[in-house]
Amino acid sequence: MKVTVLMENSAQPGLIPEHGLSFYIEYRGGRYLLDAGECGAVLVNAARLGVDLTQVDKAALSHGHYDHADGFNAFFSVNSAATVYARPRITDPEIWAEKEYIGVNMGMFCRHEKRFDLAEGPRDLAEGLHLIPDRVKHEQSLVAETSGGLVVFNSCCHAGVVKILTQLKEQFPQTPIRAVLGGFHLMGKGGVTTLGPAPEKVRAMAAALRDELDVQEIYTGHCTGGPAYDLLREELGDRLHHLTAGAVYEFAD
């Protein structure tokens, strides 16, 4: 399996960063897109990285936030066939009651509604590639079976990365977790330069990933935030890697 990070808050030279995430995944002969960032910049980065988005077979939306969903408007302009698999409540107005709206751009969704498959999961994109809903009503993980164990994508982990991975361990009890990729939603209200939870909670989370779940490789960025990443680094050492647009990761199928 080969994973190319098309969009992230940071970017390698020559690429465009934005507050969002997008992964291009090549798995057992298939081509998949998970999330599309917040605008058309994902097309620019894909072209510069040699990724042909016209050839994507299927796509998935991790959850109903604009910085993961709205880039699909640009994706649809170059790809006329791929269905986007998402949970049915990504457009539920109850999710945003009395809160600032940070959801899917409804104009984009209405224009392209037929491109979205909103059936509830779990379900499979391909043999060995699963969409698993979690406790947040509009969020799901993409889980790939590989020879070294599960590779888990959850773009923001609003339910908590430890809870999400513990749930997956219950569903795949004989399979170790090889890697997790995504944001951990640890930034504070002031953005990615601030810390949300207390430092000891971040350290406890790192200890659970390392000792209880024995996750071998952890790739994070986006909503994790810089201060939390530094704390995770102290606890996780070489297991921790920073997501950035342009990075490429490979895992044996």
Asked if residue 17 has pLDDT above 80, the reply is yes
**Cα–Cα dist 185/228, whole Å:** 9
Predicted confidence at residue 99, as pLDDT, reads 75
Q: Closest Cα partner for 37 from 3, 68, 5, 75?
A: 68
Asked if residue 177 has pLDDT above 80, the reply is yes
Predicted confidence at residue 208, as pLDDT, reads 98
Which string of b and e fits 161-173 if b means at least 16 CB within 10 Å? bbebbebbbeebe
Asked if residue 228 has pLDDT above 80, the reply is yes
Predicted confidence at residue 101, as pLDDT, reads 86
**Cα–Cα dist 79/83, whole Å:** 10
Report cis status (omega within 30 of 0) of the bond before 197.
Answer: no
Contact 245, 7 (CB under 8 A): yes
Asked if residue 201 has pLDDT above 80, the reply is yes
| Structure-token pair, residue 118 | 């909103």
User: What are the pLDDT digits (tens) for 126-169?
Assistant: 999 999 999 999 999 999 999 999 999 999 999 999 999 999 99
Bridge partners (DSSP) of residue 83 are: 58
Q: Indicate the average pLDDT of the chain.
A: 96
For the chain, percent of residues with pLDDT exceeding 90:
93
Q: Residue range 16-37: average pLDDT? A: 97
Look at the block and give the residue holding tokens 């599309």. 36
Q: Alpha carbon of 96 to those of 72, 93, 214: distances in Å?
A: 21, 6, 35
Asked if residue 5 has pLDDT above 80, the reply is yes
Q: Closest Cα partner for 38 from 88, 75, 92, 81?
A: 75
User: Is 77 in a helix, a strand, or coil?
Assistant: helix
DSSP 10: S
Q: Residue range 182-209: average pLDDT? A: 96
Asked if residue 100 has pLDDT above 90, the reply is no
Give the start-to-end residue ranges of the domains of the chain: 2-250
End-to-end CA, the chain: 6
**Cα–Cα dist 129/35, whole Å:** 16
**What is the CATH T-level fold of the domain 2-250, as seen in this structure?**
Metallo-beta-lactamase; Chain A (3.60.15)
